[in-house]
């Protein structure tokens, strides 16, 4: 009886730690347009790791996936700004591209990347290629 309680307690503790830990995990994706005439593809990084945070997105001017990274113990860079998006109904973030300085919208969830930046159709598909923490 006692070993059952201990095992149950350990299982709950492991589940809680895993859920907290996984909430900080990031992932890398290959993103491509399903329109054969378009041919667009890029890489996207979403989310940070255990010791770092990341603001990834797509820079239209550079025509590629970009990101800004900082340590979790530090404050986010000054170029990271928030705004209310009435279309999404939530707070969104914008950041300046580290390559060209042009602003880009930070992607919080890969499902938010729907429209192809090349052909402007809702034809983007993604495949997770890496998970990091």
Tell me the whole-structure pTM to 2 decimals: 0.72
pLDDT in tens, 99-123: 999 999 999 899 989 999 999 999 9
CA 121/CA 111 separation, integer angstroms:
15
∠ CA 129-104-88, rounded to 5°: 85
∠ CA 22-25-29, rounded to 5°: 130
pLDDT in tens, 57-103: 999 999 998 999 989 888 887 778 899 989 888 899 999 999 999 99
CA 56/CA 125 separation, integer angstroms:
17
């Amino acid at each position: 009886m006692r070993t059952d309680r201990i095992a149950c307690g350990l299982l709950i503790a492991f589940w809680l730690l895993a859920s907290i830990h996984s909430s900080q995990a990031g992932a890398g994706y290959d993103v491509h347009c399903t329109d054969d005439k378009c041919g667009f593809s890029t890489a996207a990084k979403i989310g940070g790791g255990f010791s770092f945070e990341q603001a990834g997105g797509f820079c239209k001017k550079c025509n590629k996936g970009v990101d800004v990274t900082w340590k979790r113990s530090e404050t986010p860079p000054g170029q990271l700004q928030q705004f209310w998006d009435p279309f999404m109904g939530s707070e969104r973030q914008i950041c300046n591209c580290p390559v060209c300085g042009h602003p880009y919208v930070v992607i919080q969830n890969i499902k938010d990347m729907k429209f192809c930046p090349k052909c402007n159709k809702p034809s983007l598909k993604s495949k997770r290629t890496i998970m990091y923490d």
